[in-house]
Amino acid sequence: MKLRHLQILVAVVEHRGISRASDHLNVSQPAVSAAIRSLEDELGVPLFERANSSKGVRPNGQAMTLYHHARDILRRCDEAKASVMQPDERPPKVSLGILHTLAPADIAKAHSTLVKIARQWRWSVREGAAIWLSDALEKRQIDLAWGTVNEGEPHSRVLWREPFVAIVAKDHPIAKSGRTSIRIGDLDRDRIILRGRCELPRNALQEAGLAIRPAARADRDELALALAAQGLGFVIAPRSLATVDVAVLPVDDLDLVRSIGLRWHKQTPPALVEAATAALAA
């Protein structure tokens, strides 16, 4: 039983299909399928239920049993390799600075992907405000910065752009009306919950035409959203921060967007930039 086949099995299970596993591992789909068939031939049992192309494959009980063993085997292999490597042979450490207003689920998923697809480096993450990221990157306290990026900034790459939206309680009259979007004037009767960690420039909300009548100021985005969920007021925040407990209302005449991307030093190896970009963009 080959370790590579076990790695492929783990990828197919975790990414719920041959196509996504192929993209994750950067190998062809026929190679992934061949590895699964080889495992099935060796074990003498089917591991996946084949469905049509739109649904991919589904692991059966035997596959899940093997999956848990494979995860343990691969982890032990990594530990065994690290235990005998000389200190100067260990993968170089990379420190990734992360903007503290990115969605926690996105951060966790990205870090997990980095560890899997970029094993030639040892990854550590540090969280902080935008001003800290810039300062730490300049002082070489971090190697890469994942956060807001100015368009056209040198040694940077925009990964995605996301709009600022209004977030309200699910039982808010506008949310219950079924409207797919609103205008700034629709919020005039409501009070705002200010985000202490907001990425926007000072007075950006006022300049956008919002009436600022604070109901609360929360340094933690989780608290701001919790207060909004209870109907205390509305929050203006990037769409990705919204939870299942609130309603998201796009604001047609609120032209506020944040560009999220990666920044690095001029001397940063291109291979490191490409690996981090691939993981974070995913």
Q: Higher-confidence residue: 1 or 206?
A: 206
Overall fold of domain 163-255: D-Maltodextrin-Binding Protein; domain 2 (3.40.190)
Closest to 94 measured CA to CA, from 125, 69, 138 = 125
- CA 152 to chain centroid, in Å, comes to 23
The pLDDT tens digits for 154-174 are 899 999 999 999 999 999 999
Q: How confident is the model at residue 194 (pLDDT cuts 50, 70, 90)?
A: very high
Contact between residue 282 and residue 113 where contact means Cβ atoms under 8 Å apart? yes
pLDDT band, very low/low/confident/very high, at 52 (cuts 50, 70, 90): low
Task: State the pLDDT at residue 183.
Answer: 94
Range of lowest pLDDT (113-117, 142-146, 248-252)? 113-117
Distance CA 90, CA 242 (A): 40
Q: What is the DSSP letter of 91?
A: P
Cα–Cα dist 106/91, whole Å: 25
**Residue 54: predicted pLDDT:** 44
Q: Can you give the pLDDT at residue 75?
A: 81
The helix or strand, by DSSP H or E, that contains position 5, with its residue range, turns out to be: helix 3-14
Q: Do 124 and 97 contact (CB within 8 A), yes or no? A: no
Helix or strand (DSSP H, E) at 215? strand 214-218
* Residue 78 in this model has a pLDDT that exceeds 80: no
pLDDT at 87: 58
Could you please state the CATH topology (level 3) that the domain comprising 3-84 is classified under: Arc Repressor Mutant, subunit A (1.10.10)
Question: Torsion angle of alpha carbons 20, 23, 26, 27, nearest 10°?
Answer: 60
The answer to whether residue 83 scores a pLDDT higher than 60 is yes
Domains 88-159+259-281 and 163-255 share a fold: yes
Instruction: Indicate the residue type of 71.
Output: R
Is the pLDDT at 151 greater than 50? The verdict is: yes
What is 88-159+259-281's CATH number, 3.40.190.10, 3.90.79.10, 3.40.640.10, 3.20.20.70? 3.40.190.10
Pairing of strands 122-128, 235-238: unpaired
99-129 tens-digit pLDDT: 999 988 888 888 888 887 777 888 888 888 8
Q: Which residue has the higher pLDDT, 122 or 250?
A: 250
Q: What is the pLDDT of residues 254-277, one digit of tens each?
A: 999 999 999 998 888 888 888 888
Give the separation between CA 61 and CA 48, rounded to whole angstroms: 9
Mean of pLDDT values over 234-241: 94
Q: Kindly list the domain boundaries of the chain, sorted by start residue.
A: 3-84, 88-159+259-281, 163-255
Residue 32: closest CA among 48, 17, 14, 18: 18
d(CA 149, CA 158): 6
- Span 9-23, pLDDT tens digits: 988 888 888 888 887
Pick the closest to residue 170 from 232, 252, 248 (CA basis). 248
- If phi > 0 it is left, if psi is from -120 to 50 it is alpha, else beta; for residue 209 that is left
- pLDDT confidence band for 76 (50 / 70 / 90): confident
Q: What does the mean pLDDT of the chain come to?
A: 88
pLDDT at 90 over 70: no
Q: Are 247 and 170 in contact (CB under 8 A)?
A: yes
Of the pLDDT bands very low, low, confident and very high (cuts 50, 70, 90), residue 35 is very high
- Quick one: residue 183, left, alpha or beta (phi over 0 = left, psi -120 to 50 = alpha)? beta
